[in-house]
Amino acid sequence: MEASSISAATAGWTDRLPILPGERVHLRWLETADVPALFSIFSDPRVMRYWSSPPLPDVAAAGALLAEIHASFATRSLYQWGIERNGESGVIGTCTLFRLDAVHGRAEIGYALASAEWGRRLASDALDVLIRFAFETLGLHRLEGDVDPRNERSIALLLKKGFRREGVLRERYRVNGEIHDTVMLGLLRREWPPAGQSATAASVSCSSCS
């Protein structure tokens, strides 16, 4: 991958991320009206249990988070979409590409889903969309995941998507006075889609991504 691939893929973007459609959900730009939903998601101790930062304390913090998301998009250093059910209105989670490295063709992924939506395969659908966009539109070579080893559900989801465990970083995070390790997982472009899943089945195609 050439360093210019990301720039070429995003050259047509204006002031917002493209909508990325999936089978059950789609990923869309986060708006000011989504601040209450962001607060509901990121203030939930269940959602934030294995996060690298504590739950949001108030709605103002959610507004600051949105401002940070928009500022990082402006510098093309982070792409964070809201997850919304198809045919419905309201953000139920977020999906993120961050620490983008155009020289080496890699990025980290992150995702969060409202606890009320767990167990419905919505995060799985959102990840399919995100991974396909990262590899096929941005032309990335490698994706990385950084997961608390106690977060077995998240690790299982990434393994299902073809990620491989690559090691443990000991005592990497300190959150609310608690020190914990992190499991590093990686997925290479040539390893995706995993056996038994076609690229076309991974997500609905996006005609507005480039």
| pLDDT tier at 204, thresholds 50, 70, 90 | very low
**The pLDDT value given to residue 12:** 82
Reply yes or no on domain 5-202 having CATH 3.20.20.70: no
88 vs 206, more confident? 88
| pLDDT tier at 4, thresholds 50, 70, 90 | low
pLDDT surpasses 50 at 203: no
**The pLDDT value given to residue 194:** 85
**The pLDDT value given to residue 88:** 96
| CA atoms within a 13 Å half-sphere pointing along the CA-CB vector of 18 | 20
| pLDDT tier at 198, thresholds 50, 70, 90 | low
Question: What pTM was estimated for this model as a whole?
Answer: 0.89
For residue 147, the one-letter residue type is: V
Phi/psi region, residue 198 (left: phi>0; alpha: psi -120 to 50; beta: rest), is beta
| pLDDT tier at 207, thresholds 50, 70, 90 | very low
Q: How many other CB atoms are there within 10 angstroms of residue 150's CB atom?
A: 12
Query: CA 167, CA 122: separation in Å to the nearest integer?
Result: 27
Residue ranges covered by each domain of the chain? 5-202
**The pLDDT value given to residue 16:** 94
Cβ distance 92 to 22 under 8 Å? Answer: no
**The pLDDT value given to residue 170:** 96
204 vs 100, more confident? 100
**The pLDDT value given to residue 206:** 47
What DSSP string runs through 27-46? Answer: EE---GGGHHHHHHHHT-HH
For residue 110, the one-letter residue type is: G
